[in-house]
Amino acid sequence: MASKYNENGGMEERQRRRDLKMYYGLENGEIEAEGSVQHAMINSTDPCNLDGANFQPQTYLSKLIQERSLTELMDEEQKMVKDIRGLDSDMQTLVYENYNKFISATDTIRKMKNDFRKMEDEMDHLASNMSAITDFSASISGTLQDRRQQITKLAGVHSLLKKLQFLFELPARLNKCIEMEAYVQAVRYYTKAQRVLHQYDHMPSFQGIHADCESIIKQLRMKLMERFRQKESTAKQLTECVDLLTQLGEPAESLCDEFLSHAKQKLDEDLEEMQTQIKLYSGEPTPGHEQRPSHAYMNTGMDVLEFVDLGCNGFLSNMCLVIASYNDMFMNRTVTDESLDTIALRKLVLFVNELMEQYFNSVRQRVQLEKETGDNTILVRALDRFHRRLQAMNKLLPDTDFSRAGTEIVSRGARDRVSHYLQSLKQHFSDCLTDIRQNLAAPRLVGKQDNTARLSELLANMQSSVVEQIKSVLGNLQAFIAPDITFAMKPYFRGPFCSQDVREGLVVAFIKHICINCNDFCEVPGDKTTSPPALLMILSRFCIDLENASISYLLSLAEEQFMVEDITPLTTTTELFAMAKDTGQRLLNHYVKVQGLTISQMLRKSVETRDWLTTIEPRNVRAVMKRVVEDITAIDMQVGQLYEEGVRKERSSDSSRRTHALSASQQNRRPQWNYAPSVDNSLMSNIQKLFSEKIEIFSAVEFSKVSVLTGIVKISLKTFLECVRLRTFGKYGLQQIQVDTHYLQLYLWRFVSDENLVQVLLDEIVCSAVHRCVTDKAMMEPSVIDLICERG
């Protein structure tokens, strides 16, 4: 063990100190903190530990003796002695040190004792001073007690006086405020003072003040009202005014009225302006502008877009402003009760409705004025803007629906446009007609060939121009349903517009107009000069072409462009087809009638004016007959321009064979002429008629050249027959008729569908002439007739 301590002197030293500390019972905690001490503590119960508290020298000694050898015991003994010496010296050092410390401590204590004594004296002094102070202060506060009470009283009086002063000054202050136009301040002052004044109303002086204030406030109120009514005051000012006035206890309802009437003035001005614009545009003289001619000259009216802009920016925005501020002022207040709210709302709605109606009226007027311009993009844009603006308006005032009325205006505008276009189409159509008339009239001077050659060209021109016109109109109208136009997307605009207005109102109406117009040509009786036959012809063909192609093309075009889906309630194409066909038929019938009548007029005159009893022996075919054949040839060419050949009844296609057949049939018939009158011509003709079909003279014709010409020839020959029956013939008269009819027979067969028809009619003419002849057996020899005809 001793060797262990020797090995480490430092350890030993510390050990020693600790032991000393233990000895003095100092700082237990310090020892415990160290690990080795713990070890020592653990070992302290060990009776063999020298340093332990439970050390039993006996046990230790016996243990040493038992366990160690002699040398070891010797060493142990030496070490032990050494330790004891070391300990003793340590002890001595310690005692010495402690002694010194003790002495210094005693010194210190002594010194402290002295100091304390001194301090005690000072403390006593302090205490005596303090008590003196206390005494003083007590005496001071005692003396000041009265004053303080006085002062608080005085302060109270002071504030009261201040208040009173405020009250007394209030009228002047209010006046000043009013002078400075600081109305807000004035109102604040007044509302502050009002209660007090009210409370002390029974005191005469206060009463005076109160009265003063009241009068001033009345003034103020007047001023506010005045300002409120002023036209120039802005919305913000107005709001302020209203605010103040409500604070001053004005009834909100009357304020509403005031406000609205004030707003109305402004809006009325806007409306007035719009009306002026309308008048300017429509060219009415406005009395207001007369004294300023230069101004009026400049203001020839703005176009519709500008107008709508004016309306939107002026009227509508003002209106929005009014509504918004109204809402701010009267409706969205937390303090106002429900009933007031509803009253205010009702008032507003009434007001707005009235003004909007006026606005709509003027817009409607303006839109209706928009007739002249061909381009409608501006109009569409204007309407669009209008519509959009209204929708915004709707959002502002959710209870009312202006967009309905607005859309109505828009669609009416659209409808007006459509009808305007229809008008222009009609105009165009009649222009076309005039054009054709002129064209027909002009080349007649040049020559007939030219004239007939032009018919198909004219027809084509007319068709294409009409179709083009409709197309362009449709194109123009498409602007109304352009995708960027808001109202175009509304189903309640789009549906009726596309199907009712465009399809029915424009395309169908135009086709109907054409038909009716064409029908009118047939209805004019005895007025042949107004409608040249060629025009009738062209129109008839035009109608047929309409039926065949154009109608379906135009309708499908319209439906396609305007996306008309539901066409069940609309005019069907078949209806229009029937109409066009009917018209074409009527026109053609009329044409046949007119042409037939022209020729029959010629024939009638020629028969009536001649003295058939005393005429000379026929040498020639009469010029009239040649003229008739010429005219019919011309008509044939004319009709051939526009209509197909059509079907003949028999042997029609091969014309080279015809001459042969004709001569053969003539051979068959001639004997009849020779013998029939001598036997019993009436019986013969009766029998003949029994077997032949009844001939309808003015009957409907088909759409073919042959049919048309057959009709004309029938009419002419029947007239010839009737005229012959009214005359009396001499021998040569009869012979002349023979020659004429034969001539006609030679030339007319080629035009008609059934040559038998011509034959029958001509036979009848000759028979009638024979009846009307005063002499018997006056017929001319067929060979001579042939000869004359060939010569002529």
Bridge partner list, 729 = 773
22 counts as binding another protein under rule CB under 8 A: no
Site for another protein in 692-711 (CB under 8 A): 694, 696-699
Select 209 or 594, whichever has its Cβ closest to another protein: 594
- The residue from 718, 731, 742, 750 that contacts another protein (CB under 8 A) is 718
Residues with Cβ < 8 Å from 751, sequence gap 6 or more? 632, 636, 706, 709, 710, 713
Site for another protein in 128-187 (CB under 8 A): none
Q: With contacts defined by CB under 8 A, how many residues of the chain interact with another protein?
A: 29
CB 349 within 8 A of CB 399: yes
Q: Which helix (DSSP H) or strand (DSSP E) does residue 436 occupy? A: helix 402-441
Select 358 or 672, whichever has its Cβ closest to another protein: 672
Type of residue found at 754: D
Select 524 or 787, whichever has its Cβ closest to another protein: 524
For 211-239, give one letter per residue: b (16+ CB within 10 A) or e. ebbeebbeebbeebeebbeeeeeebeebb
- Shortest approach of another protein to residue 671 CB, angstroms? 22
With contacts defined by CB under 8 A, name the span among 58-66, 102-110, 329-337, 772-780 that binds another protein.
Answer: 772-780
Binding mask 359-388 for another protein (x = CB under 8 A): ------------------------------
Site for another protein in 490-529 (CB under 8 A): 525-527
- Shortest approach of another protein to residue 519 CB, angstroms? 15
Three-point CA angle 297, 302, 307, nearest 5°: 145
Residues with Cβ < 8 Å from 378, sequence gap 6 or more? 303, 304, 305
Three-point CA angle 644, 650, 656, nearest 5°: 80
- The residue from 48, 613, 629, 662 that contacts another protein (CB under 8 A) is 613
**Where in 563-706 does DSSP place strands (E)?**
none
Q: Which of 682, 665, 697, 507 is nearest to 597 (CA)?
A: 697
- Shortest approach of another protein to residue 579 CB, angstroms? 21
- Shortest approach of another protein to residue 541 CB, angstroms? 24
**Distance, first Cα to last Cα, the chain:** 184
- The residue from 304, 773, 780, 789 that contacts another protein (CB under 8 A) is 773
Select 418 or 724, whichever has its Cβ closest to another protein: 724
CB 184 within 8 A of CB 240: yes
624 counts as binding another protein under rule CB under 8 A: no
Three-point CA angle 621, 625, 626, nearest 5°: 85
- The residue from 46, 772, 782, 786 that contacts another protein (CB under 8 A) is 772
- The residue from 403, 463, 606, 685 that contacts another protein (CB under 8 A) is 685
Assigned token pair, 677: 């009158």
Select 247 or 682, whichever has its Cβ closest to another protein: 682
Binding mask 572-601 for another protein (x = CB under 8 A): -------------------------x---x
Count of CB atoms within 10 A of residue 751's CB? 21
CA 182 vs CA 86, 98, 234, 606, 701: distances in Å: 106, 94, 17, 111, 97
- The residue from 59, 152, 261, 682 that contacts another protein (CB under 8 A) is 682
DSSP 191-234: HHHHHHHHHTTTSHHHHHHHHHHHHHHHHHHHHHHHHHH-SS--
DSSP 58-71: HHHHHHHHHHS-HH
- Shortest approach of another protein to residue 487 CB, angstroms? 48
Type of residue found at 719: T
- Gap between the Cα atoms of 590 and 518, Å rounded: 11
- Gap between the Cα atoms of 724 and 350, Å rounded: 86
690 counts as binding another protein under rule CB under 8 A: yes
Residues with Cβ < 8 Å from 399, sequence gap 6 or more? 345, 349
- Shortest approach of another protein to residue 583 CB, angstroms? 17
With contacts defined by CB under 8 A, name the span among 99-107, 142-150, 252-260, 685-693 that binds another protein.
Answer: 685-693
Select 376 or 768, whichever has its Cβ closest to another protein: 768
DSSP 286-321: PGGGTT-HHHHHH-S---HHHHHHHIIIIIIHHHHH
- Shortest approach of another protein to residue 628 CB, angstroms? 18
Select 32 or 693, whichever has its Cβ closest to another protein: 693
Assigned token pair, 26: 């100092």
Select 162 or 605, whichever has its Cβ closest to another protein: 605
- Shortest approach of another protein to residue 376 CB, angstroms? 42
- Shortest approach of another protein to residue 553 CB, angstroms? 35
- The residue from 97, 201, 520, 776 that contacts another protein (CB under 8 A) is 776
610 counts as binding another protein under rule CB under 8 A: no
Three-state DSSP at 567 gives coil
- Shortest approach of another protein to residue 697 CB, angstroms? 5
DSSP 238-273: HHHHHHHHHHTT--HHHHHHHHHHHHHHHHHHHHHH
- Shortest approach of another protein to residue 686 CB, angstroms? 6
Select 449 or 601, whichever has its Cβ closest to another protein: 601
Select 441 or 726, whichever has its Cβ closest to another protein: 726
With contacts defined by CB under 8 A, name the span among 71-79, 198-206, 578-586, 690-698 that binds another protein.
Answer: 690-698
689 counts as binding another protein under rule CB under 8 A: yes
Select 115 or 608, whichever has its Cβ closest to another protein: 608
CA 202 vs CA 45, 190, 241, 490: distances in Å: 105, 19, 32, 70
Type of residue found at 149: Q
- Shortest approach of another protein to residue 601 CB, angstroms? 8
- Shortest approach of another protein to residue 720 CB, angstroms? 12
Type of residue found at 188: R
Residues that bind another protein (CB under 8 A): 525-527, 597, 601, 605, 608-609, 613, 682, 685-686, 689-690, 694, 696-699, 718, 722, 725, 728, 771-776
